[in-house]
Structure 1
């Protein structure tokens, strides 16, 4: 029996008449989506296997609860009279379906078109959920969210909200969702204001000056020339055992740096040794969540900063780690200067690929592993159906809780090249 009618939920606040500007990051995502709908690399797919007596009706109701709680899940895009994109938060529909599949069906086949089917940006919602029954007490849960309304941090925010609401629904009580100290649209208005202040000509020129003579494209042996194809990505773990990862954290404390900064320097050293060029530029998405009030918010709350790292290809790994720390700190000084503004200052043509670099470095902080909740065993599955906008990305789990991964467009690389890169990177980490 459905629990939909028995659990009261506070109605969503309608913002149909209120249109809010897009942040600079959202503007770049919007443009990329217009150029390649569904193939832009901005669809975020999270897949979980759920074992136990799952109540689909309670889950469906919990999704509605989550949407009413998080403004980002009610977002759609519109255009103003002069054609400028804006966002409103008035969507009250949940794109949801429940179906059955044969036991043992590969996850890639289950995800299928759901991961790349374009969203209707004007009508929304900009997320979809598919629950697939694969056995008597087993389901696969697929959540696809457009990056216009999410970021890496939002994975955990959404999951905690959904599970809390699901538990309440199964117990037929009202979901207890605390009121946020700051709303998402308030964060957006403040972010846009800070971006406008940061776009003063002197600030933009200062941020762009350190990249004027920087290399644009890293081109090692084994990487094909020309534009990327359909952006379908392969994910390859760096072969590091748990003791090596713990040793990395300890070594970082000795040097006085974070693991992320250390890996940025070692990543630059890896790239430099492949080409003999001691400078690389990587694009790094950085979350704007310094204020504790930001922690419970879901949304696109990131900036991308170009990090220029200078290393000696023949130098010691410790020097590369220090270079990674220096480069990251320098880049963060210009965090509020929009990435697209820097590109324009450098007079780089816009396009469907990153205009500054073909390399990226991300911190991936989505919940991983297996969790037990409300009589269910929930296992987060490896990422599938990925698209990538860069030729090589290093994905670092938050806190370096497990091994980093290399993310590449598979059709752009000669077989075996990326595996060799992963091995060489593991050797650099071990040497440090």
Structure 2
């Protein structure tokens, strides 16, 4: 399905929800940024040409979002110019360069995109020395997701940098399907019988759902007479799961014939149950719309939020809870083509001025975060704190034979001590769950 040249496309439902959140916040909150350090002889012209060619290949990265008759649309710009301005720090004392570079990168993450005029992609180059540079490439989350960056964009950048370095043409085949095609197909599909069937399923699952109240570890709210504090960026805390416990969790999952994430989600729900006065534990987890092979090489926002609702009594047996979570999660994945934004609006669960029904997100990340292998250069990633739309966002990261947990929290609701307590409680529930499964 290829629209006529210049034809606007509708927003996907995920884009529509994010566009609304940005409009309400009044500033850019959701930026995908990849930052890496390069050591060696960098050809900046070849790097810029490679970035521009990636942007030229993917319409999503050339999209802007004007409002037509009160409705935002996707409009693809024909050109793909991406400047790569150099911030040269080599004149500074060597001890100051890293500090100034870190400040530049932090400010860049707060610099808004103009969604109406575009562009929604930018790049920057920091010079630390003749053979050392930092590269930052960013996009608005409206046009990309983790898969887009780590599986598509950076892998294409590797091949295109080599091609431009040697004066060769692109070795990459044309992109078979663009994101605008997906947005159109999604709306057509949701208007048919398959969409109606999935909506009926979710209406049954979420009947009477009201979402989790703020957890009992929350920081006390300021007095009502106090002026509202400006919005603060989310804060993060990491926890490394000890290797012996990680191995026990893997073994327990195999014995119970469940995925590791099912076990982690069950422990997370029992941890949450400690801090709320309800057995009805509803969280979200990240799914995806890349259910067709043609979208695997596409760039765009293919992420969906899947509600997972489980009854968790305070004295829940862990094995029973685990297998209830397994059924709940399989049901969610089976019906993952229903966009959460469409579902929330259909059920009246997401309206301006109301607390969202999903306030806690729990996810499992296995997409490898590998920097581009650029010819003649040693590359290493520079990490930065991620964004989140949820007051609590609990992510499990499994990579290189280890398991880590990242808690992203809204500091206006949960201070650092509260977040640390939640991670301590999660560790305890992982230990307790393993022990109950081993002793049964």
Q: If the TM-score is normalised by the length of the shorter chain, which range does it land in?
A: 0.7 to 0.9
Q: Distance in 2 between matches of 1:282 and 1:244?
A: 24
1:24 and 2:13 correspond: yes
| Structure 1 residues 222-371: aligned runs within 5 Å | 222-224=217-219, 225=221, 230-348=231-349, 350-351=351-352, 355-365=356-366, 367-368=368-369
1:197 and 2:192 correspond: yes
1:140 and 2:134 correspond: yes
Aligned-pair Cα RMSD in Å: 2.9
Q: Distance in 2 between matches of 1:200 and 1:169?
A: 45
1:73 and 2:61 correspond: yes
Q: Per the alignment, in what secondary structure is the counterpart of residue 134 of structure 1?
A: strand
Change (3 A) 1:187 1:401: farther
Alignment gaps of 5+ in structure 2: 90-95, 223-227, 435-440
Q: Distance in 2 between matches of 1:371 and 1:19?
A: 33
Change (3 A) 1:50 1:349: same
Name the structure 2 match of 1:96.
Answer: 84
Q: Which of 33, 48, 71 matches 1:84?
A: 71
Q: Distance in 1 between matches of 2:353 and 2:110?
A: 16
| Structure 1 residues 157-236: aligned runs within 5 Å | 157-197=152-192, 203-224=198-219, 225=221, 230-236=231-237
Name the structure 1 match of 2:438.
Answer: none
Name the structure 2 match of 1:425.
Answer: 426
Per mean C-alpha deviation after superposition, the further-off stretch among 363-372 and 409-418 is: 363-372
Change (3 A) 1:110 1:241: farther
Structure 1 runs (4+) deviating above 6 angstroms are 198-202
- Asked whether the 8 Å contact 1:91–1:125 carries over to 2, the reply is no
Q: Distance in 2 between matches of 1:349 and 1:290?
A: 26
Q: Per the alignment, in what secondary structure is the counterpart of residue 173 of structure 1?
A: coil
Q: Per the alignment, in what secondary structure is the counterpart of residue 313 of structure 1?
A: coil
Q: Which of 36, 61, 78 matches 1:48?
A: 36
- Asked whether the 8 Å contact 1:261–1:325 carries over to 2, the reply is yes
Per mean C-alpha deviation after superposition, the further-off stretch among 219-228 and 163-172 is: 219-228
Name the structure 2 match of 1:33.
Answer: 22
Q: Distance in 2 between matches of 1:151 and 1:46?
A: 11
Q: Distance in 2 between matches of 1:393 and 1:201?
A: 30
Structure-2-length-normalised TM-score: 0.85
- Asked whether the 8 Å contact 1:15–1:89 carries over to 2, the reply is no
Q: Per the alignment, in what secondary structure is the counterpart of residue 121 of structure 1?
A: coil
Name the structure 1 match of 2:392.
Answer: 392
Structure-1-length-normalised TM-score: 0.86
Number of aligned residue pairs: give it.
417
